[in-house]
Amino acid sequence: MSADHVLLLGPPGAGKGTQSKRLAEEFGLEHVTTGDALRANKHMETEHGTPASFMNEGELVPDAVVNEIVQEALSSTDGWVLDGYPRNLSQAEYLTDITDLDAVLYLDVDRDELVDRLTGRRVCEECGANYHVEFNPPETEGICDACGATLVQRDDDNEETVRERLRVYDENTADVIDHYRDEGALVEVDGEGTPDEVFERIADVVRGD
Ligand code: ADP
Ligand code: ADP
Ligand code: ZN
């Protein structure tokens, strides 16, 4: 049987969202993404402040807020692909406490390519589809192919915040990759090439080929 507790790791812009959506469709999994969950609640007041106050600066939202989102999402579904979590070692420990994992993948993409992917990203807030002005443009500029809504640039996809997110990734999330690598669980996948090519590499791992 194919893996149904799938973790997709990688730096911002590696293609986690793009590939998780496809995996979810192909393998009948739920796409659990902390980024989307936080954006849907970005003005929610918590004792630490709103998610937006961290996200717009490119900083991590406090663990307590994110852990609760993940715990609730995973406990209400059997099969899932988790995207955007864990982002530090303490979140990784929390995840180990609440569930097991069948496959841990790491999408590897060159740093310059990440900046180009992130600053050119456009998203549909209505249906969640994502595009790139150059690498994956919609049929009509600025309009979602899937639902016709107007595409927007995320508040944190400007070059300055992108650089900060990559710095935060190096400072916090690189350790998470090492942690799974040390455990022998990590499967590294080349994240460059077309989305179709990358998907085939990932799907082989999830199928257990
Ligand atoms: P990307 O896909 O570009 O990496 P995400 O949508 O995953 O971006 O995350 C956007 C922002 O949401 C992050 O910069 C961070 O502020 C917040 N965030 C998402 N996931 C987490 C997490 N696991 N822990 C803390 N903050 C998170
Ligand atoms: P993440 O969730 O890891 O931040 P996304 O899936 O949102 O990454 O992808 C970031 C940007 O790069 C989006 O604009 C997306 O359309 C584009 N993208 C995704 N995969 C590829 C690819 N293989 N080649 C070129 N651009 C890509
Ligand atoms: Zn749409």
Residue 24's contacts (CB-CB under 8 Å, 6 or more residues apart) are 30, 31, 81
CA 137, distance to chain mean position in Å, is 20
Can you give the pLDDT of all 209 residues of the chain as single tens digits? 788 999 999 999 999 999 999 999 999 999 999 999 999 999 999 888 999 999 999 999 999 999 999 999 999 999 999 999 999 999 999 999 999 999 999 999 999 999 999 999 999 999 999 999 999 999 999 999 999 999 999 999 999 999 999 999 999 999 999 999 999 999 999 999 999 999 999 999 999 97
From CA 203, how far away is CA 19, in angstroms rounded? Answer: 9
- For ligand 2, pick from 8, 18, 112, 118 the residue to mutate: most ligand atoms within 8 Å of CB: 18
C-alpha of residue 16 to centroid of ligand 3, in Å: 18
pLDDT at 87: 98
Catalytic residue check, 154: yes
CA 177, distance to chain mean position in Å, is 14
What tokens does 194 get? 């077309």
pLDDT at 1: 73
Residue 61's contacts (CB-CB under 8 Å, 6 or more residues apart) are 34, 38, 48, 51, 54, 55
Catalytic residue check, 22: no
C-alpha of residue 13 to centroid of ligand 2, in Å: 5
Residue 128 burial (CB count, 10 A): 16
Ligand 2 environment, Cβ below 6 A:
10, 12-18, 117, 120-121, 130-132, 135-136, 194-195, 198
- Catalytic: which of 16, 22, 117, 122? 16
Q: What is the pTM of this model?
A: 0.96
Longest dimension (CA), the chain: 46
Residue whose CA lies nearest to ligand 1 atom number 3: 12
34 assigned to a ligand binding site: yes
C-alpha of residue 150 to centroid of ligand 3, in Å: 8
C-alpha of residue 46 to centroid of ligand 2, in Å: 30
184 assigned to a ligand binding site: no
- Lookup result for tokens 């400007």: 158
Sign of the torsion formed by the C-alpha atoms of 173, 178, 184 and 188: positive
